[in-house]
A and B are shown apart, each in its own frame.
Chain A
Amino acid sequence: MAELFRICNLTKTFAGKDVLKNINLRIYRGEIFALIGPSGTGKTTFLRILNLFEKPTNGIFEFDGKPVNGTPLEKNRIRQRSSLLFQTPAVFNLSVFDNVAYGLKVRGFDKSTVEKKVKEALGIVGLSGMETQKARTLSGGEAQRMAFARAIVYGPEVLLLDEPTANLDPYNVAKIEELIRHIRDKCGTTIVIATHNLPQVKRIADRVGVLLEGKLIEVNSVGGIFTSPGDARSAAFLKGEMVY
């Protein structure tokens, strides 16, 4: 598989504290890569670096074979090809339709294409018929599914998911997981998911990275990490033991 992200010796420091330490990682096209670790270990910061909201303090960060230097134009160019879904979706004070159509409109799609794609995306996430509803009146699960539709509607090559099912009921968790698999299988989208939901990782991921105290201590296949973890700290984390 071709590399999409290449990260070498990446460090991120906030106020003198290393939040991410010497991260080395390659993420390949079309894979579902799960980044697991306890809360506060740097998973969100890592995703924010991938979506260019944070600049690495040190190290090399390449996207699609090119080094990322973080100019506004380059940020926009990369973001045009990716999407980040937050743990709690930020919902615009608009209708469901206009929320989902947002990414298409900023890309200049014509009206009929916008209507067709939004309808299709809402169908995929199970929100057909709710186009005119105010997005802020949706339930938490519906809002997350709407945000998912908004993130995939323009066909991003990369989908970055930050704890996308935290605080959701089992129905919506299953629905989101189904959508993640669907979008990867149907569109070949590369998916990077930050989570501490281990059963979910087992169900959807291809490869897993274990992040502890800002260090990526192990990268393994999903089968490998759960059957024979290569690091004692990974094994302890997977067993639910305190590892930090």
Chain B
Amino acid sequence: MGSFEFLLDGIVRAFELIVTLNPYILSITGVSIKVSGTATLLAAMTAIPLAFALSFVQFRGRHAVITLVNTGMGLPPVFVGLFVFVMLVPAGPLGFLNRIFTPEAMIIAQYILITPIITGITLSAIKAVPEPIIETVYTLGGREKDVVLTTLLEARFGVITAVLAGLGRALAEVGAILIVGGNIAYTGSVGGIGEGLSYTRTLTTAITSETSKGDISTSIALGIILIAIYLFVNVAAGFFRRQD
């Protein structure tokens, strides 16, 4: 079989798996969305207020925090995975939580990875709001809370971009979640794939393991779903942008 036929066969099989709503594929997709979605939501809830605090509140050590945020934007995922692993293993400081090799451990790792990304991009978006906008809020009788709300409104597309960048990074992440999640799927034959349902297996970690097993069609199916999810999120964001 030539390389083109090999690829074509993989794509056809991938569509079969998707169209027939294969339980294994669905469960992996579900874990991916649950883990990355939760991590992104929690990171956004931390990062957006943090970016506003760093922009509007003058405090000692503010520049040090900004430097930490900027450094954190390029954190190596495997290092984060290793750090969370060391914290959560039974002998680690947080071992009593018994959360290693669980979706929660993966959420923590992704949260650590993407919080600086969302914070950094939100900071840039806030900085891009022209000073006269802020002065106009004050001159119209607004207070600090009005400045924050108006800045959020003005920087909303930048903030959406920050959250999407965080989600993108979370969905695409392999190294950290492989270490702390363990890429676990229950054994047993479900859906004729020879594997059961995912526990900590995500689209990216599954692509890694399926490819190493030689199951290219399943890998391609998972890859198509991964791209489709991200495309859907971006199209939805673009739709809201156009509505505005």
On A, residues with C-beta under 8 Å from B are: 51, 53, 72, 75-76, 79-80, 82-84, 86, 88-90, 92-94, 102-103, 106-107, 150-151, 154
Contact = CB atoms under 8 A, between A and B. Distances in A.
B138 interface: yes
Contacts of A103: 140-141
Contact of B143 (A76, A84, A92, A94): A76
B130 interface: yes
B140 A102 contact: yes
Question: For chain B, which range describes its interface: under 10, 10 to 19, 20 to 34, or 35 or more residues?
Answer: 10 to 19
B133 A84 contact: no
B139 A84 contact: yes
Contacts of B133: 90, 92
Helix, strand, loop or mixed for chain B's interface? helix
B132 A53 contact: no
Interface in B137-152: 137-144, 146, 150
Contact of A106 (B130, B135, B143, B154): B143
Contact of B139 (A72, A79, A94): A79
Contact of B141 (A80, A88, A94): A80
Contacts of A72: 144
Contact of B146 (A106, A150, A151): A106
* Top 5 closest pairs, chain A to chain B, by CB: A90-B132, A103-B140, A84-B139, A90-B136, A80-B141
B141 A154 contact: yes
B153 A86 contact: no
Contacts of B150: 92
Contact of A94 (B132, B140, B144, B153): B153
Nearest to B133: A90
A106 B144 CA distance: 11
Given A92-B153, A92-B154, A102-B140, 5 more contacts: A79-B139, A82-B139, A83-B139, A90-B130, A90-B135
B153 A75 contact: no
Given A92-B153, A94-B153, A106 B139 contact: no
11 contacts: A79-B140, A83-B140, A84-B135, A86-B135, A102-B140, A103-B141, A106-B137, A106-B142, A106-B146, A151-B139, A154-B140
B140 A106 contact: yes
A94 B156 CA distance: 12
B56 to A, nearest CB: 13
A75 B180 CA distance: 53
A80 to B, nearest CB: 5
Max chain A Cβ within 10 angstroms of own Cβ: one of B135, B139, B244: B139
